[in-house]
Amino acid sequence: EEDVLNVLNQDDVLMIDYPEAGEPSDKGKAPLVEEQVPVIEDQAPVMANQLQIFQEALREQQEGLERQRAAQETLETKVDGLVSNVGSLNDKFDQLLAFLKKP
Protein backbone atom coordinates (compact mmCIF):
# COMPACT_ATOMS: atom_id res chain seq x y z
CA GLU A 1 0.00 0.00 0.00
CA GLU A 2 2.75 2.38 0.88
CA ASP A 3 4.46 1.81 -2.49
CA VAL A 4 1.23 2.57 -4.30
CA LEU A 5 0.81 5.82 -2.39
CA ASN A 6 4.42 6.80 -3.11
CA VAL A 7 3.89 6.19 -6.81
CA LEU A 8 0.66 8.22 -6.79
CA ASN A 9 2.35 11.07 -4.93
CA GLN A 10 5.24 10.97 -7.37
CA ASP A 11 2.81 11.24 -10.32
CA ASP A 12 1.12 14.22 -8.67
CA VAL A 13 4.47 15.94 -8.16
CA LEU A 14 5.54 15.31 -11.75
CA MET A 15 2.28 16.70 -13.16
CA ILE A 16 2.64 20.03 -11.35
CA ASP A 17 5.03 21.34 -14.02
CA TYR A 18 2.68 20.52 -16.88
CA PRO A 19 -0.41 22.73 -16.85
CA GLU A 20 -3.32 21.29 -18.76
CA ALA A 21 -4.65 24.61 -19.97
CA GLY A 22 -2.58 26.24 -22.67
CA GLU A 23 -2.48 27.24 -26.27
CA PRO A 24 -0.93 24.94 -28.85
CA SER A 25 1.87 26.31 -30.95
CA ASP A 26 1.20 27.07 -34.63
CA LYS A 27 4.87 26.73 -35.44
CA GLY A 28 5.44 24.32 -38.32
CA LYS A 29 1.76 24.04 -39.17
CA ALA A 30 0.41 24.87 -42.62
CA PRO A 31 -2.53 27.27 -42.75
CA LEU A 32 -5.90 25.63 -43.14
CA VAL A 33 -7.44 25.67 -46.61
CA GLU A 34 -10.28 27.83 -45.28
CA GLU A 35 -7.71 30.40 -44.14
CA GLN A 36 -6.07 30.43 -47.58
CA VAL A 37 -9.24 30.98 -49.62
CA PRO A 38 -9.58 34.74 -48.93
CA VAL A 39 -5.89 35.26 -49.71
CA ILE A 40 -6.22 33.34 -52.98
CA GLU A 41 -9.39 35.24 -53.91
CA ASP A 42 -7.67 38.55 -53.17
CA GLN A 43 -4.65 37.59 -55.27
CA ALA A 44 -6.63 36.16 -58.21
CA PRO A 45 -6.90 39.44 -60.19
CA VAL A 46 -3.20 40.16 -59.67
CA MET A 47 -2.25 36.63 -60.69
CA ALA A 48 -4.53 36.77 -63.74
CA ASN A 49 -2.90 40.06 -64.76
CA GLN A 50 0.58 38.59 -64.29
CA LEU A 51 -0.41 35.53 -66.33
CA GLN A 52 -1.65 37.78 -69.12
CA ILE A 53 1.63 39.74 -69.04
CA PHE A 54 3.66 36.50 -69.19
CA GLN A 55 1.55 35.18 -72.06
CA GLU A 56 2.05 38.41 -74.01
CA ALA A 57 5.80 38.34 -73.36
CA LEU A 58 5.95 34.70 -74.49
CA ARG A 59 3.98 35.51 -77.66
CA GLU A 60 6.31 38.42 -78.45
CA GLN A 61 9.34 36.21 -77.83
CA GLN A 62 7.95 33.51 -80.14
CA GLU A 63 7.25 36.09 -82.84
CA GLY A 64 10.80 37.39 -82.47
CA LEU A 65 12.18 33.87 -82.85
CA GLU A 66 10.08 33.35 -85.99
CA ARG A 67 11.44 36.61 -87.44
CA GLN A 68 14.98 35.48 -86.64
CA ARG A 69 14.38 32.10 -88.30
CA ALA A 70 12.97 33.78 -91.41
CA ALA A 71 15.92 36.20 -91.54
CA GLN A 72 18.33 33.26 -91.11
CA GLU A 73 16.70 31.38 -93.99
CA THR A 74 16.87 34.49 -96.19
CA LEU A 75 20.52 34.98 -95.31
CA GLU A 76 21.31 31.33 -96.05
CA THR A 77 19.61 31.64 -99.45
CA LYS A 78 21.64 34.77 -100.25
CA VAL A 79 24.88 33.12 -99.14
CA ASP A 80 24.12 30.09 -101.32
CA GLY A 81 23.53 32.45 -104.26
CA LEU A 82 26.83 34.24 -103.62
CA VAL A 83 28.72 30.95 -103.40
CA SER A 84 27.20 29.91 -106.71
CA ASN A 85 28.15 33.26 -108.32
CA VAL A 86 31.73 33.01 -107.02
CA GLY A 87 31.99 29.50 -108.43
CA SER A 88 30.73 30.72 -111.79
CA LEU A 89 33.19 33.65 -111.77
CA ASN A 90 36.07 31.28 -110.96
CA ASP A 91 35.11 29.08 -113.91
CA LYS A 92 34.98 32.10 -116.24
CA PHE A 93 38.30 33.39 -114.91
CA ASP A 94 39.90 29.99 -115.54
CA GLN A 95 38.51 30.01 -119.10
CA LEU A 96 39.86 33.53 -119.67
CA LEU A 97 43.32 32.56 -118.41
CA ALA A 98 43.33 29.48 -120.63
CA PHE A 99 42.33 31.62 -123.61
CA LEU A 100 45.06 34.19 -122.89
CA LYS A 101 47.74 31.48 -122.62
CA LYS A 102 47.03 30.24 -126.16
CA PRO A 103 49.58 31.48 -128.69
Report which listed range, 5-14, 25-34, 51-60, is most confident: 51-60
- DSSP per-residue codes, the chain: -HHHHHHHHHHHHHHTTS-S--PPP-TTPPPPHHHHHHHHHHHHHHHHHHHHHHHHHHHHHHHHHHHHHHHHHHHHHHHHHHHHHHHHHHHHHHHHHHHHH--
Q: What's the predicted TM-score (pTM) here?
A: 0.45
pLDDT at 46: 84
